[in-house]
């Protein structure tokens, strides 16, 4: 009796499934971050948006969406919530009134500062335990995977 998928017409087994492996890796990785952020009522997504805008400076929403890996409808809602909580500001772009330029407020920067040490600690621990070289290999492979045209 064989279990070769080619013989049975079955699907590739899920035990070495790349999509699920990516999901699981994310769970492992983000769990401590989510626990940290839950103390400030900040979701993983809001944290991504705050960090991206903080690092790049004032940005339009399409750029934020691309960088933070969010779709525009989600981003719209997240930014409205962050604006409501006083962590971001939006201003209509002078050159193109369709665009709104998003900026981190001082309150937003304070929140980022408040968590940055612990956030860095988490990823430093990861790097220490997993190994800097393996981490780099993994990042390279993941970037290369994004280039594959399926």
d(CA 114, CA 73) in angstroms, rounded, equals 28
43 lies in the site for DNA, by CB under 7 A: yes
Cβ 86 vs Cβ 105: under 8 Å: yes
- Minimum distance between the CB of residue 145 and DNA, rounded to whole angstroms? 17
Site pattern 20..39 for DNA (x: CB under 7 A): --------------x---x-
Instruction: Give the whole-angstrom CA distance, residue 90 versus residue 79.
Output: 9
User: 8-35 as b/e, with b when 16 or more CB fall inside 10 Å?
Assistant: eeeeeeeeeeeeeeeeeeeeeeeebbee
Show Cβ contacts of residue 113 under 8 Å, excluding neighbours closer than 6 positions.
none
Residues 85-114 as x/- pattern, contact with DNA by CB under 7 A: -----x-----xxxxx--------------
- Under the binding rule (CB under 8 A), the answer on residue 32 touching a copy of itself is yes
Binding site for a copy of itself (CB under 8 A): 5, 9-14, 16, 18-33, 44, 48, 51-52, 54-55, 67-69, 112-113, 116, 119-120, 122-123, 125-126, 129-130, 134-135, 137-139, 141-146, 148-150
């Amino acid at each position: 009796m064989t279990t070769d998928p080619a013989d049975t017409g079955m699907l590739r087994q899920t035990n070495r499934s790349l999509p699920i492996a990516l999901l699981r890796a994310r769970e492992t990785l983000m769990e401590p971050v989510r626990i940290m952020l839950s103390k400030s009522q900040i979701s993983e997504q809001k944290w991504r948006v705050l960090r991206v805008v903080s690092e790049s400076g004032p940005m339009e929403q399409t750029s934020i969406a691309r960088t933070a890996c969010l779709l525009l409808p989600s981003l719209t809602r997240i930014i409205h919530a962050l604006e409501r909580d006083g962590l971001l500001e939006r201003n209509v772009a002078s050159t193109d009134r369709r665009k709104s330029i998003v900026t981190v407020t001082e309150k937003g920067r304070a929140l980022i500062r408040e968590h940055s040490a612990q956030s860095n600690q988490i990823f430093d621990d990861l790097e220490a335990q997993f190994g800097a070289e393996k981490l780099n290999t993994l990042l390279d492979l993941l970037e290369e995977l994004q280039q594959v045209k399926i």
